[in-house]
Chains A and B, each alone.
Chain A
């Protein structure tokens, strides 16, 4: 049975922007399809074309068939009932104040009787194990639970097709994996067709029956993931950057056969390559020690938010000037607390913190926040009110008594450095998440700062954007600014940071250069390291593994 069939679909927005160009595909019932592509490649537009109520206004050519009916013949009731749609941000998809009324909301709209709704609630509560949160208020839930409630609310309507538009972009990696697992289960156990668009593809690809890649409004790839060939990799920067490491290695080594999708398949691939001989060349590690003086020096720092217990017990940390430093650790181990201590947002009551050789307590707040350090939280929308980004920039500079010429100079300087000149006159909510992040950093750098603290900066970025972002940060570091980030993103830290520290149980368990840190770990390390560990020592990034493979097998023209 074909659930969705798209024929020669093109779509043009009223402004004249062509979002979709000649799209063709069909999806069988019960499949798990991953849709990916750069931001603004038309993913959201395409997904919304499949849901009548949410379709954007504009010129549509071609046809969309849903359940073997033309889209315009599908009634709104059928569309609401049979096609479930989940958006990015769980916070704003939840409409009512309690879990129970949220799940009942869609069922009420369909006009079900109370008895029937009660039955569905019972069913959903047991399937998603929601019984213990069923009576709670939405505001008492965690981010992951909220997204789960969104999913449950849609699932309660018994949909045949489930469309998810970047559903995990606001969640941390662990929670988002759990969420995707639940969606996968819905597909496999209940035969619901799933179309999911995502920017974090590492764990998703292996589950997919098919991967559709959009680029600039066109489909450039529509295949089962194993069959994504090196040709496609060479054609698209996005594919090259976003597919799981094992697939990227497979393509870069120009190997034949099905691409390995998981770490274990990747290990097998390398084992086959080197099955008869041990590699002769290993990674040549030159440890460059940053000899600069410390930007941040924390000694025996302890902190507790209240008397319920210490968050940090005795923390020692050294961040060198001009380095790109990452603080790693699980959820709620106090990573953000460390950051807030560093910039004096919370007071250090035990131990000492020195910024650039001076005790943080001796800084006045003006000196601290206007000339020394800035802290950017995860949600950088927190800094923008609009109507344009430029106005927000000007607003920040208001407190400094500058002439209008000086002000303009500063704005044009940072906007050139961060390449956001074209964004200045846009509304902050009209630009993409990654762009806004960049604008926020630019905003903080309007003042001559020496230490920049970023909380989870890469959360909403795809791999391609991360690369550009890291380049900018590196440039910033070279100009003498120290950048500290808190992150869950192991791959990002391994690739681009200089040093990292792992926080656990209130202390900094280790502070090392990135390379040493990840190559010694077994679980907490990059996919490239996991794949290559049994062959090469200490390779942590894909490019290192690739170089080693080539060095060791010159004969096979790798």
Chain B
């Protein structure tokens, strides 16, 4: 079993991510975007370590630069001219800033998605899906069962066919393609012919009876309750007082400087975004000491 954010109830974790995405997508105020980006980055590094840093430099940074540059060179709105081409096209500060903010926004979403993929495992997703579409949840679970099965069978088919000199590595390109397609045809026959076995096994165990329940192995604890409540209330606050975080970039850059009240709301949002990271650290500390006392 896991500890920290991973051990939370899927509903609370899911709510947290959904509202993080929503806030990041809906607000354009630099304060919000940068906070969201940094918090996502910190948590991503906590979860993935070196891999995360690598993907930041190889993927996220280029993405920000690409989006910024794309906007900068292609859009020509705005009032502050930085450079004017002979054709009359201008490079403007507004389009540069807008592109940058947009790039940061997209990267923040990507980073949150990285964390999402780590936290919301297949099991949790199937549980969430099962709440409102049990059949789809079951189908997804079955697919996840069949994929590894197909992969190993696919390998075996290749070995068997290599033993007869008809695998996808021998021959010219066309022959290889045709061999590959034959392999996949064998694979499909193999699995489809077993469809009836699987459905027999399902009906033998009573699938299709009225009143199917779905097993819930997750326990909704007090901390889950706190998490869910804050995952809803804090973004709601942010949306309610959104006028404190007003920002437009076209045709003129207009960013509301937050008031004192705005700062309070922002501080709450900051705490909210950094929560997964802090919670993980706190739990790790909590449980690392318990063995020592025994």
A and B touch in the complex (CB under 8 A): yes
A81 to B194, CA, bound (A): 24
Q: Chain A: which residue is nearest B181 at the CB level? A: A385
Check A105 for interface membership: any CB of B closer than 8 A: yes
Nearest CB of A to B145, in Å: 4
- Asked if residues B212 and A111 are in contact (CB atoms below 8 Å), the reply is yes
Task: Please pick, from B141, B148, B171, the residue contacting A139 in the complex, using a CB distance under 8 A.
Answer: B148
Q: 1/0 per position for B150-161, CB-CB distance to A under 8 A? A: 001100110111
Q: Which residues of B contact A108 (CB under 8 A)?
A: 212-215
A81 to B148, CA, bound (A): 30
Nearest CB of B to A105, in Å: 6
Q: Which residues of B contact A396 (CB under 8 A)?
A: 164, 166
- Asked if residues B204 and A377 are in contact (CB atoms below 8 Å), the reply is no
Interface residues on B, range: 35 or more
Known contacts A53-B203, A87-B197; is-contact A345 B217 (Cβ 8 Å): no
- Asked if residues B148 and A383 are in contact (CB atoms below 8 Å), the reply is no
A80 to B202, CA, bound (A): 10
A345 to B206, CA, bound (A): 45
Check B207 for interface membership: any CB of A closer than 8 A: yes
The interface-forming segment of B185-193, B249-257, B278-286 is: B185-193
- Asked if residues B159 and A54 are in contact (CB atoms below 8 Å), the reply is no
- Asked if residues A92 and B215 are in contact (CB atoms below 8 Å), the reply is no
Q: Chain A: which residue is nearest B171 at the CB level? A: A399
- Asked if residues A382 and B197 are in contact (CB atoms below 8 Å), the reply is no
Q: 1/0 per position for A124-159, CB-CB distance to B under 8 A? A: 000000000000011100000000001001100100
The interface-forming segment of A96-104, A202-210, A229-237, A515-523 is: A96-104
Known contacts A108-B212, A370-B165, A381-B190; is-contact A96 B206 (Cβ 8 Å): no
Check A433 for interface membership: any CB of B closer than 8 A: no
Q: Which residues of B contact A343 (CB under 8 A)?
A: 163
Q: Which residues of B contact A85 (CB under 8 A)?
A: 200, 204
Nearest CB of A to B201, in Å: 4
- Asked if residues B186 and A383 are in contact (CB atoms below 8 Å), the reply is yes
Task: Please pick, from A77, A112, A139, A382, the residue contacting B161 in the complex, using a CB distance under 8 A.
Answer: A382
Check B237 for interface membership: any CB of A closer than 8 A: no
Q: Which residues of A contact B182 (CB under 8 A)?
A: 385, 395
Candidate in B122, B171, B190, B201 with the most chain A CB atoms within 10 angstroms: B201
Q: Which residues of A contact B123 (CB under 8 A)?
A: 98, 101
A383 to B163, CA, bound (A): 10
- Asked if residues A53 and B204 are in contact (CB atoms below 8 Å), the reply is yes
- Asked if residues A377 and B163 are in contact (CB atoms below 8 Å), the reply is yes
Describe B's contact surface by its main secondary structure: helix
Q: Which residues between 77 and 127 of chain A lie within 8 Å of chain B, taking CB atoms?
A: 77, 80-81, 84-85, 87-89, 91-98, 100-101, 104-114, 117-118
Check A540 for interface membership: any CB of B closer than 8 A: no
Known contacts A87-B197, A96-B138, A101-B141; is-contact A382 B156 (Cβ 8 Å): yes
Q: Chain B: which residue is nearest A104 at the CB level? A: B215
Task: Please pick, from B138, B145, B205, the residue contacting A80 in the complex, using a CB distance under 8 A.
Answer: B205
Task: Please pick, from B152, B160, B175, the residue contacting A376 in the complex, using a CB distance under 8 A.
Answer: B160
Check A368 for interface membership: any CB of B closer than 8 A: yes
A109 to B123, CA, bound (A): 19
Q: Which residues of B contact A139 (CB under 8 A)?
A: 145, 148-149, 152
Known contacts A109-B207, A386-B189; is-contact A369 B164 (Cβ 8 Å): yes
Q: Which residues of B contact A98 (CB under 8 A)?
A: 123, 141
A429 to B189, CA, bound (A): 9
Known contacts A81-B206, A101-B141, A345-B162; is-contact A112 B213 (Cβ 8 Å): yes
- Asked if residues B145 and A113 are in contact (CB atoms below 8 Å), the reply is no
Check A375 for interface membership: any CB of B closer than 8 A: yes
Task: Please pick, from A93, A111, A380, the residue contacting B197 in the complex, using a CB distance under 8 A.
Answer: A93
Q: Chain B: which residue is nearest A117 at the CB level? A: B215
Candidate in A76, A97, A107, A150 with the most chain B CB atoms within 10 angstroms: A97
Check B55 for interface membership: any CB of A closer than 8 A: no
Nearest CB of A to B163, in Å: 3
- Asked if residues B205 and A109 are in contact (CB atoms below 8 Å), the reply is yes
Q: Which residues between 379 and 410 of chain A lie within 8 Å of chain B, taking CB atoms?
A: 379-386, 395-396, 399
- Asked if residues A92 and B164 are in contact (CB atoms below 8 Å), the reply is no
Nearest CB of A to B209, in Å: 6
Candidate in B175, B182, B188 with the most chain A CB atoms within 10 angstroms: B182
Q: 1/0 per position for A303-341, CB-CB distance to B under 8 A? A: 000000000000000000000000000000000000010
A368 to B167, CA, bound (A): 14
- Asked if residues A51 and B145 are in contact (CB atoms below 8 Å), the reply is no
A112 to B215, CA, bound (A): 8
Known contacts A377-B159, A383-B160; is-contact A109 B209 (Cβ 8 Å): yes
Check A479 for interface membership: any CB of B closer than 8 A: no
Task: Please pick, from B165, B207, B211, the residue contacting A369 in the complex, using a CB distance under 8 A.
Answer: B165
Q: Which residues between 204 and 234 of chain B lie within 8 Å of chain A, taking CB atoms?
A: 204-217
Q: Chain B: which residue is nearest A138 at the CB level? A: B145
Check A365 for interface membership: any CB of B closer than 8 A: yes
Known contacts A53-B204, A109-B205; is-contact A95 B163 (Cβ 8 Å): no
Check B144 for interface membership: any CB of A closer than 8 A: yes
Task: Please pick, from B175, B200, B205, B210, the residue contacting A153 in the complex, using a CB distance under 8 A.
Answer: B205
A112 to B216, CA, bound (A): 11
- Asked if residues A365 and B211 are in contact (CB atoms below 8 Å), the reply is no
Task: Please pick, from B204, B206, B209, B217, the residue contacting A100 in the complex, using a CB distance under 8 A.
Answer: B217
- Asked if residues B209 and A110 are in contact (CB atoms below 8 Å), the reply is yes
Task: Please pick, from B144, B156, B175, B212, the residue contacting A379 in the complex, using a CB distance under 8 A.
Answer: B156
Q: Chain B: which residue is nearest A446 at the CB level? A: B164
A511 to B142, CA, bound (A): 47
Q: Which residues of A contact B156 (CB under 8 A)?
A: 377, 379, 382
- Asked if residues B165 and A106 are in contact (CB atoms below 8 Å), the reply is no
Check B81 for interface membership: any CB of A closer than 8 A: no
Check A168 for interface membership: any CB of B closer than 8 A: no
Check B80 for interface membership: any CB of A closer than 8 A: no
Check B198 for interface membership: any CB of A closer than 8 A: yes
A114 to B215, CA, bound (A): 5
Check A526 for interface membership: any CB of B closer than 8 A: no
Q: 1/0 per position for A518-546, CB-CB distance to B under 8 A? A: 00000000000000000000000000000
Q: Chain A: which residue is nearest B1 at the CB level? A: A135
A98 to B182, CA, bound (A): 31
Nearest CB of B to A409, in Å: 20
Check A444 for interface membership: any CB of B closer than 8 A: yes
A375 to B156, CA, bound (A): 12
- Asked if residues A87 and B200 are in contact (CB atoms below 8 Å), the reply is yes
Nearest CB of A to B198, in Å: 5
Q: Which residues of A contact B188 (CB under 8 A)?
A: 385
- Asked if residues B213 and A111 are in contact (CB atoms below 8 Å), the reply is yes
A91 to B198, CA, bound (A): 9
- Asked if residues A114 and B213 are in contact (CB atoms below 8 Å), the reply is yes
Check B89 for interface membership: any CB of A closer than 8 A: no
Check A468 for interface membership: any CB of B closer than 8 A: no
- Asked if residues B163 and A375 are in contact (CB atoms below 8 Å), the reply is yes
- Asked if residues B204 and A80 are in contact (CB atoms below 8 Å), the reply is yes
Q: Chain A: which residue is nearest B197 at the CB level? A: A92
Q: Chain B: which residue is nearest A118 at the CB level? A: B217
A144 to B193, CA, bound (A): 22
Given known contacts A139-B145, A157-B206, what 6 new A-B pairs fall within 8 Å (CB)? A88-B197, A95-B141, A106-B205, A114-B217, A368-B165, A379-B156
Residue ranges of B at the interface with A (Cβ–Cβ < 8 Å): 122-123, 126, 138, 141-142, 144-145, 148-149, 152-153, 156-157, 159-166, 170-171, 175, 182, 185-186, 188-190, 193-194, 197-198, 200-217
A-B contact pairs, 15 of them (CB 8 A): A53-B203, A54-B203, A77-B209, A84-B204, A92-B197, A92-B198, A105-B207, A108-B214, A113-B213, A114-B216, A374-B164, A375-B163, A383-B186, A428-B189, A429-B193
